[in-house]
């Protein structure tokens, strides 16, 4: 855990001593207002799936810094529009220095939009069907898993439905970020949203 200048206890991955002031504010605000908050909007969940895929192998801070560029480049993560992207769109994205220009991740985002468009169930309903029962918050970061049976099952089902870059670790990061699990540490000041059992 980290006690910041404002006297609030935050999860240890918000380390003011290792960040520039601007990056600290960006990361702190994400932690305080977004991370772990239940998100049930399918369009917003598609954005999060996409950004989690782009984050794979990188720092989340890189993605946060570029998030507005991603939103602009991918037309607000409009599933229907992305599902119709052509080679011209792909080439435009590969030339966009404001985003992470990774061929496989860009192809995955387009493929994932097509997979969402083909779903026979709402994306939010599908993803939240894998949320585990509420549990107590972890005592510290060492008690936070990287993969769970639920994230493994989610990844398997998403892959079956044509999604890419959605392995069990990425699926669990999505679950954490969107409030399907509450992995804020027990002493973190952010109020618990889902009641622990």
Tell me the pLDDT tens digit for each residue of 93-130.
999 999 999 999 999 999 999 999 999 999 999 999 99
What local confidence, expressed as pLDDT, does residue 194 receive? 59
Percentage of the chain lying above the pLDDT 90 cut: 87
Q: What is the mean pLDDT of residues 56-81?
A: 96
In sequence order, which residues have a C-beta less than 8 Å from that of residue 159 and are 6 or more positions away?
166
Query: What's the helix, strand, coil split of the chain in %, to 5?
Result: 55, 0, 45
Tell me the pLDDT tens digit for each residue of 179-190.
999 999 999 999
Task: Give the count of alpha carbons within 13 A of 61, CB side only.
Answer: 15
Instruction: Tell me the catalytic residues.
Output: 30, 52, 60
**pLDDT classification of 1: cutoffs 50, 70, 90:** low
């Amino acid at each position: 855990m980290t006690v910041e200048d404002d006297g609030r206890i935050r999860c240890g991955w918000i380390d003011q001593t290792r960040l520039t002031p601007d990056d600290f504010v960006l990361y702190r605000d994400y932690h305080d207002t977004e991370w772990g908050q239940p998100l049930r909007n399918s369009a917003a969940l598609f954005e999060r799936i996409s950004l989690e895929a782009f984050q794979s192998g990188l720092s989340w801070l890189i993605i946060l810094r570029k998030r507005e560029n991603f939103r602009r480049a991918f037309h607000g993560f409009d599933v229907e529009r992305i599902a119709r992207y052509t080679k011209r769109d792909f080439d435009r994205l590969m030339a966009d220095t404001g985003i992470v220009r990774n061929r496989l991740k860009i192809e995955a985002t387009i493929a994932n939009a097509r997979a969402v468009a083909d779903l026979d169930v709402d994306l939010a309903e599908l993803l939240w069907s894998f949320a585990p029962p509420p549990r107590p918050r972890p005592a510290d970061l060492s008690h936070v898993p990287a993969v769970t049976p639920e994230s493994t099952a989610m990844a398997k089902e998403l892959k079956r439905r044509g999604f890419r870059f959605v392995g069990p670790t990425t699926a669990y990061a999505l679950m954490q970020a969107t409030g399907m699990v509450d992995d804020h540490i027990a002493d973190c000041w952010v109020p618990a949203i889902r009641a622990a059992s």
